Chain A
Amino acid sequence: MTQNTQYNNDLLKRLFKRMLYIRSVEETIAERYHELEMRCPVHLSIGQEAIATGVCEALGNNSYVLSGHRCHAHYLAKGGSLKAMIAELYGKVSGCSRGNGGSMHLVDLQAGFLGAAPIVGSTIPIAVGAAFGSVMQNKDNIAAVFFGDGATEEGVFHESLNFAALKKLPIIFVCENNFYSVYSPLSVRQPPGRPITQLVQGHGIESYAGNGNDVIEVYDLTSLAVNKVRQGSGPIFLEFKTYRWLEHCGPNNDNTLGYRSESEFEKWRQLCPVNMLQNKLLAEGVMRFEEIDAVKKEITVEIHEAFQFAKTSLFPEQKNLLEGVFAL
């Protein structure tokens, strides 16, 4: 799929660096979570970095992104400020939502990341509305929204698909199917033998499924979708299968609970999106070990600075409590 052209090498490096960056941020959050200074729930994206990275790379500028509770990777992949995100997790006034939102309400309007909300499926119609509003104003923005397999069971998901199809809106629906809604497997939630893409096709929306741990496949499928959407195809639905490595909420591995097997986890760990691309880049000579080490060092420094910024920032004060309930 990849040729050793300069463009493709730059792209591959970019994808790799971005995934590694997200992985490292999430690992650092997990490491430091026990310090009890990030006093909000965290839904970590470890294992799922390829989807955020590939989709946001393909989306490019003039695009809006919205997400759900597991939003760190999407925010970072879209170019959200790391310092503002970490400060938000620390509840600081320098956070991206001034400490009012926390981990589940990241926002970076400059980067086009319009917001995230943990009510399953809730940001799907809002993303459709962002696409609709852009069309009404003759802007050339497109929208994308990330959600999990559980969201496809919500009524608002189907309502949103129906309207997006009706108005042929420029939106890409990105379903990260990690097979579990908290501890509940797909088998207790959706009928066997009926793919999610088929459900969506029933709404008259073009749908594709892909390997969510292969960032190049994610990028290619999304690029295809972006081209179609920008040419007026109407909405496109992408389902990427992937796997969450850690517990639903929190920094730990929870396989001992028994809701999923160690062997299943191990199978997916072998399909680590970061390692797979790293091996490919090394094998094809796109990057060398030293270069990767240098990238890792850069990322470590950036993350360290972000945590320092967060820790040394101030908490909001009592006078801030009643500020900003209503917009002027």
Chain B
Amino acid sequence: MIDVKLAADVQHMKIARELKFFQAINEAIDLKMSTDPSVFIMGLGVPDPKGVFGTTLGLQDKHGSSRVMDMPTSENAMTGVAIGSALVGMRPIMVHQRLDFALLALEQIVNQAANWYYMYGGQSKVPLVIRLIVGRGWGQGPQHSQSLHSWFAHIPGLKVVMPATPYDAKGLLISSIEDNNPVVFVEHRWLHGISGPVPDGLYNTPIGQPRLIKEGKDITIIGMSYMTLEAIRAAQILADMGIEAEIIDVRTLKPLDDALILQSVNKTRRVMVADTGWASAGFSAEILARLFESGLGDLKHPPRRITSPDCPSPSSPGLARYYYPRAEHLVLEASRMFGLKDVLIDDGVLPFQLDIPDLSFTGPF
């Protein structure tokens, strides 16, 4: 039943080379800029010594300061500038070091970029990639770590992608740059340092297709972005408990072909969605709604959403440890679905062990 092609493309491909997620993004931009003169990238700090967490390092030396550019601290107008340039033939990439900064540009993203094609009856294309980085840990606090991907997925005319692996970071970014629509490309800060197999050259991860990460017969865990990695680790723990979890990485929030998800839940009849954002009106609710609307409400256990609790992201490590769900929380909820005794959640002796990425999480994935 389940199409395992997507799972196979990484696992069965003999890819000797591994790249980190940030390098995969850098390579995707570099390749597209090398092959398409209409591609350019702008954002605060793009050519600076840190190069947006390494994702833009070296690009200005190679492609010049007019195509790899810093910009005024004017998120809204610069989004409009990107739209205008796209209307006359350019393919801009914008990057914001925090998703939260792009809220200053919501007017241009939602009212203008998303609507322009439909609003003018299909005449005016806006090929625009907006890279948004979701922060986490080290006291990022309420305005540097909001995972608002669900907002964008609400808007007709926007595509929203959210890769979890270096392979998909590159493949989805190439597809996003080649797409003739505005694409919101969400990167979780804790993914930048992970590594995984990444082929040389240009290739596409199709926008719209989830990936089957791991097959399993007992429960479907649907992850997105960083939470997919937590789901993978949870599956390893669950395996030791005799529970075979099937892991699906959503990859694209919009447009989403949900056939793979529906097939999986039809098989396992247990489902859990792990979202980097909040539950209320979030993307985890969208996935569950689709399951119920498709007639898959006859589950062996009520579904679960694993999200942050309904409060702003606290800065203190004393609270952040309770704010961010981890593999242990997925395991706890899954074991409850099978009527097992609650597993103990080890929050660590010191809370600040939890406010930096888990060292075992560097991949390869």
> A327 near B90 (CB under 8 angstroms)?
no
Which residues on the B side are within 8 Å of A127 (C-beta)?
A: 84
Q: How far is the CB of A216 from chain B (nearest CB, A)?
A: 31
Q: How far is the CB of B240 from chain A (nearest CB, A)?
A: 44
Q: How far is the CB of B245 from chain A (nearest CB, A)?
A: 33
CB within 8 Å for A129 and B74 given contacts A97-B120, A122-B112, A327-B125: no
Q: Tell me whether B124 is interfacial, beta carbon within 8 Å.
A: yes
Which residues on the B side are within 8 Å of A96 (C-beta)?
A: 120-121
Q: Give the residue of A124, A129, A143, A166 whose beta carbon is less than 8 angstroms from that of B82.
A: A129
Q: Tell me whether B348 is interfacial, beta carbon within 8 Å.
A: no
**Which of A126, A130, A134: most chain B CB closer than 10 A?**
A126
Q: Tell me whether A195 is interfacial, beta carbon within 8 Å.
A: no
Q: How far is the CB of B102 from chain A (nearest CB, A)?
A: 14
Which residues on the A side are within 8 Å of B122 (C-beta)?
A: 98, 323-324, 327
* Number of A residues, CB within 8 Å of B: 47
| Cβ proximity bits A289-307 to B, threshold 8 Å, 1 near / 0 not | 0000000000000000000
Q: How far is the CA of A166 from the CA of B81 in the complex (A)?
A: 13
Q: Tell me whether A150 is interfacial, beta carbon within 8 Å.
A: no
> A325 near B157 (CB under 8 angstroms)?
yes
> B88 near A64 (CB under 8 angstroms)?
yes
> A109 near B123 (CB under 8 angstroms)?
yes
> A119 near B107 (CB under 8 angstroms)?
yes
Q: Tell me whether B89 is interfacial, beta carbon within 8 Å.
A: yes
Q: Tell me whether B80 is interfacial, beta carbon within 8 Å.
A: yes
Q: Tell me whether B119 is interfacial, beta carbon within 8 Å.
A: yes
Q: Tell me whether A1 is interfacial, beta carbon within 8 Å.
A: no
Binding site for B on A (CB under 8 A): 64, 66, 95-101, 105, 107, 109, 114-115, 117, 119, 122-134, 136-137, 139, 141, 143, 155-156, 159-160, 162-163, 166, 323-328
9 additional contacts (CB under 8 A) given A97-B119, A124-B80, A129-B84: A97-B123, A115-B116, A125-B83, A129-B85, A324-B117, A324-B121, A325-B156, A326-B181, A327-B181
> What are 23 A-B pairs at a CB distance below 8 A?
A66-B84, A97-B121, A100-B119, A105-B120, A107-B120, A122-B107, A122-B108, A122-B111, A125-B78, A125-B81, A126-B80, A126-B84, A129-B86, A133-B88, A133-B90, A137-B38, A159-B77, A159-B78, A163-B77, A166-B72, A324-B122, A327-B117, A328-B180
